[in-house]
C-alpha cells in the first residue's frame, strides 16, 4: 500500500491528513500517517487569546489520536530531525520524559510520498537579548507561559493590598499577532480588575507596540491599517512606528534611535522563518529564511516524492514576479485542499495541478472592541469591513477550520457548547 507521511499537524497538515484519511485511507488506497511533536492541535491564530487568557484551551484543542481514529489515518508522536532521500525514510529524534530520561530512541519511518508541513517560527533577526528576554507566540506552551507570567504579576500586586501597581508590556511587531495581542491584553486588564484583582488598575497596564516599518499592519493597505492604528490609540496603547529594536534587556528595550521602553513582559512578534532543521535537509534547496523551495505543484525542486505546504514552503506566486506565497493560514488551507486532490491523482499516474494563491482578504480582531479587514472575491471585488460585521467574519474563519476537521454537524454542536459554556465559566482564564 502507498505510504503517505505528513510531518506537521498545524492547520495545513492536519486538514490534509483528515481529507486524505476520509478518501484514500478509508478506501485503503493509501496508508496516511500524520507526525507531530504534540498530542493536541490548537489553531495558531488563536494563540494571542491564550496568552491574554480569553480562550479556554481545553475546549478548543483537538486530540490527534482521536482525530486519526475518526478519520482513517494514523498518528505518530515525534519530531523530525533528518531525512534519507535515497532510502525514502525520515528520522525522528529520540523522546525524553520530564527527567531527561530517554523513552523512545531515534526512529526511522519509510514513505512513498512525503509532505512537510512544519509551519514557521518567529524570526528575532539575531537581536541581542531577544532570545533570552522575549516570549514568542509560536506554540501553545509559549502562549500559556506568557499567560502565567501575566497572572503572577497581577497576583503579586494584588497581595500587596494596594491599587497603585504598574505593568509595562512591550510587543515587537505590529503585524496581526502583535496588534491582536495588544487589544486582547487591554481587554484582559479590564476583566482582571472586574474580578477583583485590583493591584494593577486597567489604566496602569502600559502596552507599547514597536514596529520597524512605517505603519501598523505593514502587509495591508492604508485604508485598513489607519483605522486600526486609531483604535489602538483610543484604547491607550502606545504605537511606535519606524522604530527598530536594537537590544533587549531584562527590564527594557532599546531602539536604534535611542529610545528606552521599560517592560516587565516582552513579546517578540515580528518576522517569520521556517524551522532551522530544514536548512540543507536531505540536500533540498532552501531560501535565506530556511523555507524549502517548491515548484507550483508544491513538489520540492530536487525531489518529486516530497511535497511542502504552508509557512515552510517557498512557493512562487505564479504571477511572473519573484515573490513567494505569503505565510498565511488561508494559503495553507488552499494548499491542503489542492494536495488532497493532487496525491489522489498521483496514485493514478495523472498530471498534477499547479497552485495559484488566491487572496480572499484579511481580517484583524481588536478583541471585543472591534475588528477591521477586507474581503476580496470575483463577485464582491474588494470590500472593507469594520465593527460587528468584521468581527463575525473573523470568527467564521475559525469555524471554517473546524468544519474542515469535524464536519458541519459536529462543528454546530461545538458552537452550541461554546454558547452554553459562556454562562457557566469566567470570561477570562484565571489560572
pLDDT tens for residues 168-207? Answer: 999 999 999 999 999 999 999 999 888 888 889 999 999 9
Q: What is the pLDDT of residue 220?
A: 81
Cα 139 from Cα 310, distance rounded (Å): 16
Task: Indicate if 163 and 245 belong to the same structural domain.
Answer: yes
pTM: 0.90
Name, in order, each residue with C-beta under 8 angstroms of 127's C-beta and a sequence gap of 6 or more: 245, 246, 247, 248
Which is nearest to 118 in space by CA: 306, 400, 372, 301?
A: 306
Q: What is the pLDDT of residue 381?
A: 46
Task: Indicate if 7 and 89 belong to the same structural domain.
Answer: yes
Domain residues for the domain of 295 are 2-120+274-347
Cα 372 from Cα 387, distance rounded (Å): 7
Higher pLDDT, 423 or 290: 290
Q: Yes or no: say if 116 and 292 are a contact pair by the CB < 8 Å rule.
A: yes
**204, 233, 268 - which closes a domain:** 268
Task: Indicate if 116 and 143 belong to the same structural domain.
Answer: no
Q: What is the pLDDT of residue 370?
A: 65
Q: What is the pLDDT of residue 389?
A: 59
In a domain, 355, yes or no: no
Q: Is the pLDDT of residue 59 over 90?
A: no
Task: Indicate if 149 and 215 belong to the same structural domain.
Answer: yes
In a domain, 426, yes or no: no
pLDDT tens digits, one per residue of 136-173? 999 999 999 999 999 999 999 988 877 778 999 999 99
In a domain, 354, yes or no: no
Query: What is the arithmetic mean of pLDDT over 68-83?
Result: 96
In a domain, 428, yes or no: no
Q: Is the pLDDT of residue 225 over 50?
A: yes
In a domain, 321, yes or no: yes
Which is nearest to 48 in space by CA: 154, 176, 174?
A: 176
Task: Indicate if 143 and 229 belong to the same structural domain.
Answer: yes
Cα 75 from Cα 78, distance rounded (Å): 10
Q: What percent of the chain clears pLDDT 90, i.e. is strictly above it?
A: 68
User: Model confidence at 384, in pLDDT bands (50, 70, 90)?
Assistant: low
Q: Yes or no: say if 266 and 259 are a contact pair by the CB < 8 Å rule.
A: no
Task: Indicate if 35 and 150 belong to the same structural domain.
Answer: no
What is the CATH classification number for the domain harbouring 280? 3.50.50.60
Task: Indicate if 289 and 191 belong to the same structural domain.
Answer: no
In a domain, 241, yes or no: yes
How many C-beta atoms surround the C-beta of residue 88 within 10 A? 18
Task: Indicate if 281 and 263 belong to the same structural domain.
Answer: no
Cα 344 from Cα 226, distance rounded (Å): 45
How many C-beta atoms surround the C-beta of residue 405 within 10 A? 20
pLDDT tens digits, one per residue of 386-402? 555 566 666 777 888 88
Task: Indicate if 327 and 378 belong to the same structural domain.
Answer: no
Count how many domains the chain has: 3
**217, 240, 268 - which closes a domain:** 268
Cα 143 from Cα 160, distance rounded (Å): 27
Supply the mean pLDDT for the chain. Answer: 89
> Maximum CA pair distance of the chain?
72
Task: Indicate if 335 and 367 belong to the same structural domain.
Answer: no
In a domain, 59, yes or no: yes
**324, 347, 370 - which closes a domain:** 347
3-state secondary structure of 293: strand
Task: Indicate if 15 and 113 belong to the same structural domain.
Answer: yes
In a domain, 429, yes or no: no
Task: Indicate if 139 and 245 belong to the same structural domain.
Answer: yes
- Torsion, Cα of 30, 411, 367, 215 (10° steps): 30
How many C-beta atoms surround the C-beta of residue 161 within 10 A? 8
Amino acid at each position: 500500500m502507498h505510504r503517505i507521511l505528513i510531518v506537521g499537524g498545524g492547520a495545513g497538515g492536519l486538514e490534509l491528513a483528515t481529507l486524505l484519511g476520509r478518501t484514500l485511507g478509508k478506501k485503503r488506497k493509501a496508508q496516511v500517517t500524520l507526525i507531530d511533536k504534540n498530542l493536541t492541535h490548537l489553531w495558531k491564530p488563536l494563540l494571542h487569546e491564550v496568552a491574554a487568557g480569553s480562550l479556554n484551551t481545553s475546549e478548543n484543542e483537538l486530540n490527534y489520536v482521536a482525530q486519526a481514529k475518526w478519520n482513517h489515518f494514523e498518528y505518530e508522536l515525534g519530531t523530525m530531525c533528518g531525512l534519507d532521500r535515497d532510502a525514502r525514510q525520515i528520522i525522528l529524534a529520540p523522546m525524553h520524559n520530564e527527567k531527561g530520561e530517554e523513552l523512545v530512541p531515534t526512529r526511522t519511518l519509510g514513505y512513498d510520498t512525503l509532505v512537510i508541513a512544519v509551519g514557521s517560527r518567529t524570526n528575532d533577526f539575531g537581536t541581542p537579548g531577544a532570545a533570552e528576554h522575549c516570549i514568542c507566540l509560536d506554540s501553545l506552551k509559549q502562549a500559556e507561559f506568557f499567560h502565567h507570567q501575566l497572572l503572577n504579576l497581577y497576583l503579586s500586586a494584588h497581595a500587596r493590598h494596594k491599587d497603585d501597581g504598574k505593568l509595562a508590556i512591550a510587543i515587537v511587531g505590529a503585524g496581526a499577532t502583535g496588534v491582536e495581542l495588544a487589544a486582547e491584553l487591554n481587554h484582559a486588564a479590564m476583566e482582571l480588575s472586574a474580578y477583583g484583582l485590583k493591584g494593577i488598575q486597567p489604566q496602569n497596564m502600559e502596552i507599547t507596540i514597536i514596529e520597524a516599518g512605517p505603519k501598523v499592519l505593514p502587509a495591508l493597505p492604508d485604508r485598513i491599517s489607519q483605522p486600526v492604528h486609531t483604535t489602538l490609540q483610543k484604547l491607550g496603547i502606545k504605537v511606535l512606528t519606524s522604530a527598530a529594536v536594537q537590544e533587549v534587556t531584562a527590564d527594557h528595550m532599546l531602539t536604534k534611535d535611542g529610545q528606552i521602553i521599560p517592560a516587565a513582559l516582552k513579546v517578540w512578534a515580528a518576522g517569520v522563518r521556517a524551522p532551522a532543521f530544514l536548512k540543507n535537509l536531505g540536500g533540498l534547496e532552501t531560501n535565506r529564511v530556511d523555507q524549502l523551495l517548491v515548484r507550483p505543484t508544491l513538489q520540492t525542486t530536487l525531489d518529486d516524492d516530497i511535497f511542502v505546504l504552508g509557512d515552510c514552503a517557498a512557493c512562487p506566486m505564479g504571477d511572473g514576479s519573484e515573490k513567494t506565497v505569503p505565510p498565511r493560514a488561508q494559503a495553507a488551507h488552499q494548499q491542503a485542499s489542492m494536495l488532497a486532490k493532487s496525491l489522489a491523482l498521483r496514485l493514478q499516474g495523472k498530471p498534477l495541478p499547479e497552485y495559484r494563491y488566491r487572496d480572499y482578504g484579511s481580517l484583524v480582531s481588536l478583541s471585543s472592541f472591534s475588528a477591521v479587514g477586507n474581503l476580496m472575491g470575483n463577485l464582491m471585488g474588494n470590500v472593507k469591513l469594520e465593527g460587528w460585521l468584521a468581527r463575525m467574519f473573523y470568527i467564521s474563519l475559525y469555524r471554517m477550520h473546524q468544519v474542515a476537521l469535524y464536519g458541519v454537524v459536529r462543528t454546530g454542536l461545538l458552537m452550541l457548547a461554546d454558547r452554553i459554556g459562556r454562562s457557566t465559566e469566567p470570561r477570562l482564564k484565571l489560572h
